[in-house]
Chain A
């Protein structure tokens, strides 16, 4: 077996292990015992083994490709998922909260599944990426946003337990929207697997700037590229075209994928609601009976307290050092840079509100969710909507 084959097998193994571990964490929720149960021990053990497997994926891929495997969207998002698992393991051993695993691992799996939809070929590095700073900058960023994501997970747990589900309110609606967004990501993975399986393909041609480029849709085109023409004859005709203001590379195809994910997510969501016969938030709430709100609040804050300095270091300082070496300026107001600054501003505001103005508990939980939304926008949105130096994938 080649290194690369070992690598992808290990990633797959990690994913399966996380899945099983989630099941064991789920089993701990109902147990009445105060002492740590056997299923909790199995759950965390499997998580650690899964993490090691993913670490092997990372190392073998590094050895095979000759550079830190964080150079394109597939590699970076996978590393992000891995960082999230690591952050969970660390915070688990500080606070011993199993319900964190029940939510953190699925979110990490969603992230890894999202990553696997990008081309996973080992690509050579363009000159601007040929630097040791690639590994240093990107892994620190992945690690920091992995930790910040745990703040989101804890915030979400807080809200599921805290928000009163007996009546519909603004709170329940917003919580449903957040949960629905997670369904959209699941929908993305499901629909990608389906169309992958039936091997769907439709080619389009469109103008990108002044170049004529071809793009391959792997899902039927609901939305075609801006000013594009279909090259595959018997494929479904697009219903409408991507608007011109979507500037990201290959925006039409990505927008189309987003629409499909949304539809699939909606279908799965509605099915779940049909089965549960209540809001998803309300259906999840009983699982939180044993959760200590104060502890979850503390974890959500602690994750930011650990993640924020790391993000500053990786996302701004290391980024600036590398930009100075590669692009002759340490700061250039590229959209990705600006959104890293926005993320930093946001968590700075979060910390000030919490430490100086006493925004604990619920307010803090909502903020941690907004923070995660900003991180995800920088990961997904900036590449889709905005043109810039970082749009490698």
Chain B
């Protein structure tokens, strides 16, 4: 048997609990919604035939049934909730502070938090939200969303589409809100009908039977918001692909022009100026107390004045590219720069980095330090050798942009010229044996103590460096669409209710029943308003009556 024919003539799909058209309980299927031995009918899905409750034998059926369960869905949410909370116990990898003992997670967690920190790292909780099992958890939630929605939406849609105004008496009597009134006149029924219409109920009639309905669209709310969530999950998946998502970082010095990474050499940026402003008295009396309490400078603005160039198409490969200005802008925090699908964010800065350094050479024993020649080193790209006017040749043997002594060994802490130091080889005119000299800020060492020439820092220039994030994210519109659909769905489902009132004449008597998916008090108020000055009795809450018989507050 594939279909079930109801006595009203409607043919229902297999597994139907309540006839889609008239609502008559279908014998043999009442256990599905737990209607046996109960006065009230389970109306959650209108007694429609759901796949998960109908087909349960094959392997696929079992998987479908598993994921279509709200219980499973809630468990998945709860597990995700607990897992997310675990990830906040210690900072995630990306939030290890700059001043930490080590930024290497293998060292940081144990050194900072001891054994629990070590365990945290070993369990992979330092990157919990990027871990495979967290991803799988979210994916399972996604699967649950899809299956839950399909399992319920299709039959529910059918049932509400096929419902008729004339319902079976059993259906009416087994609603939560129900009343029976004897000897009701036609006029009174018309009065109630019109009052319901006035309250914006849609009325449909069939042989004197009346169905008043409003807000049916709110029943679709859950499915709409689930679609939104699925779109968001898909967007998150797509974001993993480099095709749609780009995340780069570029340091650019004041006055420098550099290619923007991730743009395939197509775009260049020039940093005209970096500006750091802090709050002071001129910002008004009102901030005085707060600034005093803070005790340190409070930043007011981070800004890079930048020019964006695009490579001209006819540029020859290998040659210096020809550039044209496409944009000139101030990039500030909260005010990123957008061009051709890319976005640049003010993300970091380095103040007072060395730009150039000039050196002067003189005779070691010359007390007047009379210059024998000078040269200037560009600290970002120093030359190998410098020929001086008087025939001296200076060669850079070692260059430490950010000099420090590590256990007696000189090294460069970073590759940025923050504390430059050099080992110079000085070749006197027409000689092949050089003198060695070590020069840095506040350092001038002659390892042999026999040098004829001495090098000294004559001058230097400094500049700031801007750190900018380069982003291209084609998944953003998808996230926005997903979020918008979610919001529409959730508002549709939460702020409206699906209310129905049935008027069922039975001889001279009238049966009145009503159902809503939520906010029963509101429904009762609607009915109260509709039946004033008529003989018709107000509906009784049969669930309340049932419960009062069953138990009395809290004793269990």
A residues neighboring B (CB under 8 Å):
4, 64-65, 95, 119, 121-124, 126-128, 130-131, 133, 161-164, 171, 209-211, 214, 244-245, 247, 293-295, 298, 301-302, 305-306, 308-309, 312-313, 316-317, 320, 324-328, 330, 332-335, 338-339, 341-342, 345-346, 348-349, 352-353, 355-357, 362, 382, 386-388
Contact = CB atoms under 8 A, between A and B. Distances in A.
Nearest to B276: A127
Contacts of B13: none
A353 B554 contact: no
B95 interface: yes
B383 interface: no
A328 B112 CA distance: 29
A349 B332 contact: no
5 contacts: A164-B554, A210-B99, A338-B84, A349-B74, A355-B518
Interface string B85-108: 101100110110101100000000
Nearest to A126: B299
B520 A330 contact: no
Given A127-B334, A305-B495, A328 B290 contact: no
B137 to A, nearest CB: 11
A124 B293 CA distance: 12
B347 interface: yes
B71 A357 contact: yes
Nearest to A325: B334
A161 B553 CA distance: 9
B479 A162 contact: no
B433 to A, nearest CB: 46
Given A127-B300, A164-B553, A333-B129, A295 B495 contact: no
Contacts of A302: 519
B291 interface: yes
A328 B490 contact: no
A68 to B, nearest CB: 14
Interface of B: 44, 70-71, 73-74, 77-78, 80-81, 84-85, 87-88, 91-92, 94-95, 97, 99-100, 112-113, 116, 129, 279, 283, 286-287, 289-291, 293-295, 298-302, 332-336, 343, 345, 347, 469, 471, 476, 479, 483, 486-487, 490-491, 494-495, 517-521, 544, 553-555
A80 to B, nearest CB: 21
Contact of A309 (B298, B299, B333, B495): B495
A353 to B, nearest CB: 6
Given A162-B554, A298-B519, A308 B77 contact: no
B289 A121 contact: yes
A165 to B, nearest CB: 9
B74 A353 contact: yes
B311 to A, nearest CB: 25
B84 A341 contact: yes
Contacts of B343: 328
Contacts of A65: 286
Can you list the 7 inter-chain pairs with the closest CB atoms, starting with the nearest? Answer: A123-B290, A164-B554, A121-B290, A127-B333, A328-B345, A210-B99, A356-B70
A124 B88 contact: no
A171 B554 contact: yes
Most chain B Cβ neighbours within 10 Å, of A295, A326, A328:
A328
A391 B272 CA distance: 34
Contacts of A335: 88, 91
Contacts of A211: 99
A328 B88 contact: no
Nearest to A72: B290
B468 to A, nearest CB: 9
Contacts of A346: 81
Contacts of B80: 345
A352 B487 contact: no
Nearest to B344: A328
B471 to A, nearest CB: 6
Given A124-B283, A162-B554, A349-B77, A342 B85 contact: yes
Most chain B Cβ neighbours within 10 Å, of A295, A309, A324, A334:
A309
A342 B302 contact: no
B515 to A, nearest CB: 14
Given A164-B555, A312-B490, A328-B471, 6 more contacts: A309-B487, A324-B476, A326-B333, A339-B88, A352-B74, A357-B74
Contacts of A214: 295
B494 A306 contact: yes
Contacts of B70: 352, 356-357
A298 B523 CA distance: 13
Contacts of A126: 298-300
Nearest to A343: B81
Contacts of B97: 209, 387
B81 A119 contact: no
Given A328-B347, A349-B74, A355-B518, A342 B495 contact: no
Contacts of A332: 94
Nearest to A298: B521
Nearest to A209: B99
Contact of B287 (A122, A161, A357): A122
Nearest to A129: B334
Contacts of B88: 335, 338-339, 382, 386
A38 B44 CA distance: 43
A312 B487 contact: yes
Contacts of B87: 333, 338
A294 B335 CA distance: 51
Contacts of A210: 99
A211 to B, nearest CB: 8
Most chain A Cβ neighbours within 10 Å, of B85, B129, B469:
B85
Given A309-B495, A352-B73, A356-B70, A123 B287 contact: yes
Given A127-B333, A308-B490, A362-B554, A387 B290 contact: no
A116 B521 CA distance: 39
Contacts of A338: 84-85, 87-88, 129
Nearest to B92: A333
A141 to B, nearest CB: 15
Nearest to B332: A127
B293 A121 contact: yes
A290 B419 CA distance: 77
Given A128-B334, A312-B487, A387 B95 contact: yes
Contact of A127 (B112, B283, B302, B553): B302
B301 A330 contact: no
Contacts of B73: 352
Nearest to B45: A356
B77 A348 contact: yes
Contacts of B286: 4, 64-65, 122
Nearest to B286: A122
A41 B152 CA distance: 47
Contacts of A355: 517-518
Nearest to A172: B554
Contacts of B287: 121-124
A214 B300 CA distance: 23
Contacts of B295: 214
Contacts of B553: 161-162, 164, 293
Contacts of B490: 308-309, 312
Nearest to A95: B521
A210 B504 CA distance: 79
Most chain A Cβ neighbours within 10 Å, of B71, B78, B91:
B91
Contacts of A312: 486-487, 490
A355 B87 CA distance: 30
A127 B299 contact: yes
Contacts of A121: 287, 289-290, 293
A131 B335 CA distance: 9
Most chain B Cβ neighbours within 10 Å, of A121, A124, A130, A346:
A124
A162 B293 CA distance: 49
